[in-house]
Amino acid sequence: MRTVPRSGEDLFALAPVMPVVVLEEAEDAVPLARALVAGGLPGIEVTLRTPAALSGIERIAAEVPEAVVGAGTIVNTEQVEAATEAGARFLVSPGSTPDLLRAMFDTGLPCLPGVATVSEAMALMEWGTTSMKFFPAEAAGGTAFLKSLAGPLPQARLCPTGGITRRNAPDYLALPNVGCVGGSWPVPAALIASGRWEEITGLAREASSLRT
């Protein structure tokens, strides 16, 4: 069944962890997505950091209807267009600039623009959104930053990413302003490169049971 996320909150509701994928080979996209879905992680962020990323998004969107594939590491307006054309169902950026935000929101897709400061979170709320990525989470203050942010900006809901591990993820997920966490730990490059899909399903299963 195809799930259609309409908001950042819908993305947060998919699973406690959003795997952040760096795809070297487009052929790996479909088995990887199937492995993640089988482990309970249907929301998948494929970062636009490799030449294979857009083709990978296209393949997942076409062939794995149970997955909700989005594009990450969007840093310019051309990538917004390319990701949308490839069939991305949500858009993620590591940071926020006015031109990028306008292009992302114009698509009508759910978006998680990146913030690392209080002013950036406030600027995003002026755009009318309370759903955002907190990047780079560990380097920019981690759980202490999020606890402080919840005082003045309790409406902001974030997906911390960058330095999250299976060990510190529960500390983030316990916070009321964390919608989900993002991380590469369920999708290690070495396991993808050697096609060890069952091991990835195992990591995904462990990640998907982190909360509740």
Give least dist CB 1 to ligand PYR, A.
26
Give the residue numbers marked as catalytic: 45, 133
Q: Determine if 107 is a binding residue for ligand G3H (CB under 6 A).
A: no
40 Cβ partners below 8 Å, 6+ apart? 15, 204, 205, 207, 208, 209
Q: List the interface residues with ligand PYR, window 92-111 (CB under 6 A).
A: 92-94
Residues with Cβ < 8 Å from 141, sequence gap 6 or more? 148
Interaction of residue 133 with ligand PYR, rule CB under 6 A: yes
Give the Å distances, CA to CA, from 170 to 46, 69, 138, 202, 210: 23, 24, 14, 18, 7
As a whole number of angstroms, the distance between CA 6 and CA 111 comes to 9
Q: Considering only CA atoms, which of 126, 78, 129 is closest in space to residue 113? A: 129
Q: Could you say which of ligand G3H, ligand PYR, none residue 142 binds, taking C-beta under 5 to 8 angstroms by partner kind?
A: none
43-47 vs 157-160, strand pairing mode: unpaired
Using rule CB under 6 A, residue 142 touches ligand G3H: no
Total residue count of the chain as it appears in this document: 212
Q: Interacting stretch for ligand PYR, rule CB under 6 A, among 51-59, 87-95, 166-174, 186-194?
A: 87-95
What's the min distance (Å) between Cβ of 198 and ligand PYR? Answer: 26
User: From the list ligand G3H, ligand PYR, none, which binds 163 (C-beta under 5 to 8 Å, kind-based)?
Assistant: ligand G3H
Q: How far apart are CA 89 and CA 2, in angstroms?
A: 11
The two structure tokens encoding residue 117: 């400061």
CB of 143 to ligand PYR, least distance (A): 17
130 binds ligand PYR (CB under 6 A): no
Contact characters 39-58, ligand G3H, x per CB under 6 A: --------x-----------
Part in contact with ligand G3H (CB under 6 A); list of ranges 7-15, 100-108, 144-152, 179-187: 179-187
Give, for 36, the enclosing helix (H) or strand (E).
helix 29-38
- Residue from 14, 20, 41, 200 that binds ligand G3H (CB under 6 A)? 20
Residue 88 CB, shortest distance to ligand G3H, in Å, is: 16
Q: Which residues, 178 to 207, sit near ligand PYR by CB under 6 A?
A: 182
